[in-house]
Structure 1
């Protein structure tokens, strides 16, 4: 759980911010005006999968060093689950932090609020911004400034088993949650497969909230909205899907069981992201038959709009870096259209630049399937505490799904916990 800033941490953050503001402009000018003159060394923390993805990034770094022979990049692969605490600890102490880091998009507001990140507006790191997809670009913003450059992106979609839908006589995937419930009933009757599997992780609840025009909070109005009428409607629908259309959920091991059920044909439709596809293709329903895996936007709520959270990773520059010029150039190189095409071909991840979706990149069925779905992606609420908000909501959501408490009470209880995390916010 992410907690509030201690007095010591706040003082360190202020000092760090002052240091960064005092020493960054000259380096930025050098990177922009005469890149070939920039020299020195930087450390890069990469959080990609060490076995399957990291080799492509290491190859890309070799290309960077060939293009900028005066700059040396010290590469470190840091496990995704460890990087948040490791970075915050090193940034707060001012010792051991990387110059550039691959950061989860959901952490940008928190890091920026602590003054751990260098603002990138008007630096060599941030160029050709019009080429970025709107969803990923929006994840880099906090309080009107830019603190990251989009590297890879993702969102949630409705993945489905084409053959099961065809066997049930369903011509196309459901466009609304009501249609999903109706289709699930037909699927069960005609194929024996469950319609879906409700993931009790509240990240997967966001499409239902967004589909009702709801969110966790409203930063501009300083209101907690997780228990608004729209949110109650969204969670009521989630409970209905759970009760009528989901395979029974093992809450102790929900994700793995959900994956196993879908890839082996026991579940016909799933709200999932592109990261799951390599695993999906190992199951009996899709192995050797990748064309059987269908991609569609998440179903829409009563607003008629389908929307899912923007995920992925941005490259960020540490505010206390002693070589901002090299850090800016490295960030620009790693997020260029050419680099993103290289990574997409090697790793199968979704680029953040529109121009990177070339015919060759789109030969990957997963990338081709998710590319149009990215139009439905929207940001999570931009608050430093956003990660912490999911903890009390998760606790209440599980109780709601299990029938231990009514929807309205559960969300009211979550809102009460939100007030402790969001000082100055009122309950809407």
Structure 2
């Protein structure tokens, strides 16, 4: 009798424990998520958050809107100040610093191998630090060679240049009669494809500086040679550089530029691209040392201090799934970070999406170091001085390397 009663008691206890566990996991949870979206992307993001809440009725999401320019400091202040924050949208270049500060939750144990395999490799690598994964890419970006198909065809070119030698030849051929071949920007982000094309490098993940190598200097020298050959913009300096580059290309004053997918909506408003089919998209040409464009973009990350990391991961996985990204492409004209989205029937024939897909095949992560987002200040300043012929490519490389060694606190 005693044994029978003990057995019944054990069964009751087991069911009671199970019921308590179910009740505990079913308790309502509120997540605080910082959004840096604006415009159409913000509307879409909040719409998808509502969809998530409907699918997960016990999880509510408090969205905090923060301007992109101040988001990095806002997040650091909030987390280090013990404010409630479960996740946020991070620029990929911020991730190494956040990891060093111990602010991010690694998520490699949460993501399935099949899910990881669906992300663009360069996008996923951009948020991997020392082998650990710290975010799910929501959008991926990389500069491309954008070209005016009509201008190139009228000059005898049926296809865009595929090598740096061909780029020089095409630029020379189309220059004349108030038009020039290619806008060469002083923004050093757009200099990376030239440096990589000649086999050079900037800063490696193990904090080695390589800009004074012969290969890196050759990449800078090629940019200057375009200027010296008279096939670039006629302006003496880089005042309003980005606006001039865009306006000249939209009006047909220039035949080619290097820019990313974020520029497409603006370009399609120009007189040259009323027919979107006239906008050509190709990888930045290869050089003797290879090919590559810097992989940029944003990822959704989980706070190390979140009390609900699993629920937050569930949220960011939903917001970066194929359905979310397909809507992003259609409504906000971004590029998906998931490979499967490019096979979507409504996107498979989209020349802009598919054009950038080819560019992403040669995308490369930028240096994954905490100071990575700060490296472009001295870089851009010296590239601009070089392109104005005030210093040589070697002097520019020396100046940049010296500044980076100070930034990284390296011994000379």
Bigger Rg, structure 1 or 2: 2
Distance of aligned partners of 1:276 and 1:412 in 2 relative to their CA distance in 1, 3 Å threshold: same
Q: 2:129 aligns with which of 139, 142, 151?
A: 142
Partner of 1:55: 43
Q: 1:322 aligns with which of 289, 307, 331?
A: 307
Cα deviation, residue 329, structure 1: 1.0
Q: 1:282 aligns with which of 269, 288, 307?
A: 269
Distance 2:280 2:165 in 1: 20
Establish whether residue 375 from structure 1 lines up as the match of residue 375 from structure 2. no
Residue 128 of structure 1: SS of its match in structure 2?
A: helix
Q: Which moved more, 1:238-247 or 1:308-317?
A: 238-247
Cα deviation, residue 38, structure 1: 6.3
Partner of 2:82: 94
Is contact 1:36-1:68 (8 Å) kept?
A: no
Establish whether residue 421 from structure 1 lines up as the match of residue 407 from structure 2. yes
After superposition, give the CA deviation of every residue in 1:143-169 in whole Å (9 maximum; x if it has no partner): 221111111111111111011111111
Is contact 2:40-2:331 (8 Å) kept?
A: no
Distance 2:24 2:126 in 1: 27
Partner of 1:29: none
Distance of aligned partners of 1:355 and 1:248 in 2 relative to their CA distance in 1, 3 Å threshold: same
Partner of 2:6: none
After superposition, give the CA deviation of every residue in 1:43-81 in whole Å (9 maximum; x if it has no partner): 222222x22221111111111000001111112332222
Distance of aligned partners of 1:425 and 1:145 in 2 relative to their CA distance in 1, 3 Å threshold: farther
Residue 280 of structure 2: SS of its match in structure 1?
A: strand
Unaligned runs of 5+ residues in structure 1 are 1-32
Residue 268 of structure 1: SS of its match in structure 2?
A: strand
Distance 2:36 2:80 in 1: 20
Residue 175 of structure 1: SS of its match in structure 2?
A: coil
Cα deviation, residue 360, structure 1: 1.2
Unaligned runs of 5+ residues in structure 2 are 1-21
Distance of aligned partners of 1:333 and 1:181 in 2 relative to their CA distance in 1, 3 Å threshold: same
Partner of 2:323: 338
Partner of 1:248: 234
Establish whether residue 166 from structure 1 lines up as the match of residue 153 from structure 2. yes
1:7-22 equivalence runs, <5 A: none
Scaled by the length of structure 2, the TM-score of the pair is 0.89
Establish whether residue 44 from structure 1 lines up as the match of residue 29 from structure 2. no
Distance 2:82 2:220 in 1: 43
Is contact 1:110-1:384 (8 Å) kept?
A: yes
Distance 1:184 1:203 in 2: 21
Is contact 1:153-1:352 (8 Å) kept?
A: yes
Is contact 2:147-2:280 (8 Å) kept?
A: yes
Scaled by the length of structure 1, the TM-score of the pair is 0.86
Q: 1:402 aligns with which of 383, 388, 399?
A: 388
Partner of 1:385: 371
After superposition, give the CA deviation of every residue in 1:87-123 in whole Å (9 maximum; x if it has no partner): 2222332335x31111111111111111111111212
Distance of aligned partners of 1:103 and 1:38 in 2 relative to their CA distance in 1, 3 Å threshold: farther
Residue 58 of structure 1: SS of its match in structure 2?
A: helix
Partner of 1:70: 58
Distance of aligned partners of 1:394 and 1:154 in 2 relative to their CA distance in 1, 3 Å threshold: same
Partner of 1:359: 345
After superposition, give the CA deviation of every residue in 1:311-358 in whole Å (9 maximum; x if it has no partner): 111111111122222211101111112222222222221111111221
**How many pairs are equivalent?**
388
RMSD of the alignment, in Å? 2.1
Cα deviation, residue 126, structure 1: 8.4
Residue 298 of structure 1: SS of its match in structure 2?
A: coil
Distance 1:180 1:124 in 2: 42
Residue 182 of structure 2: SS of its match in structure 1?
A: coil
After superposition, give the CA deviation of every residue in 1:206-227 in whole Å (9 maximum; x if it has no partner): 101111222212333x421111
Distance 2:148 2:26 in 1: 54
Partner of 2:72: 84
After superposition, give the CA deviation of every residue in 1:7-46 in whole Å (9 maximum; x if it has no partner): xxxxxxxxxxxxxxxxxxxxxxxxxx99973631112222
Is contact 2:30-2:62 (8 Å) kept?
A: yes
Q: 1:236 aligns with which of 210, 216, 221?
A: 221
Distance 1:359 1:35 in 2: 42
Is contact 1:224-1:425 (8 Å) kept?
A: no
